[in-house]
Amino acid sequence: MNNNYLKRHQENLESAKLLIYSHSHYCSSVHCSYYAVFQYLLHIHKTRDTKIYQNRDRLGNVGSHELIIKETFSLLQANDKKSADIFWREMKALKTMRVASDYKEAYIDFTASNSSLKMAENLIHTLSSIFNR
């Protein structure tokens, strides 16, 4: 199955690392870390052919990320409540950091961008361990 979401997720994760460690582009790295996870969420929904995935084109731009995140949280709760709670907390924190790095005049340094990358890697690992069983 052709899965561009999985490819994009991997590219965003690698880009985040390069932006942090090779170029010191910290704001852009946070953006890539967030989208690495979001693209992985889309991969999960695509491979499960969920209703949210089937209706993704009708979601519109407003709140579409929130809907995908909430639906993923629901899927996680059915499998592992503790992981679902961690996912919710970490995903919200990562999204908040991405919004700050993209739209606000926030100072994003190495520590913040590296923290976002680690959060993304941990989220992807958790999601992978639950949905690839």
Q: What is the pLDDT of residue 61?
A: 63
Q: What is the pLDDT of residue 53?
A: 85
Alpha helices in the chain (DSSP H): 4-21, 26-48, 51-54, 64-79, 81-103, 110-131
DSSP assignment of 38-52, as one string?
HHHHHHHHHHHT-HH
CATH superfamily of 4-131: Nucleotidyltransferases  domain 2 (1.20.120.330)
Q: What is the pLDDT of residue 133?
A: 63
CA distance 88 to 69: 8
Q: What is the pLDDT of residue 64?
A: 82
Spatial contact of 126 and 118, defined as CB atoms under 8 Å apart = no
pTM (2 d.p.): 0.93
Spatial contact of 56 and 67, defined as CB atoms under 8 Å apart = no
Q: What is the pLDDT of residue 39?
A: 96
Spatial contact of 90 and 122, defined as CB atoms under 8 Å apart = yes
Q: What is the pLDDT of residue 83?
A: 94
CA separation, residue 117 to residues 34, 57, 81 (Å): 8, 28, 24
Q: Which two tokens stand for residue 83?
A: 């992981």
- The percent of residues above 90 in pLDDT, for the chain, comes to 80
Domain range list for the chain: 4-131
Q: What is the pLDDT of residue 59?
A: 67
User: φ and ψ at 92, to 5 degrees?
Assistant: -65, -40
CA distance 91 to 93: 5
Residues of the chain with pLDDT under 70: 1-2, 59-62, 133
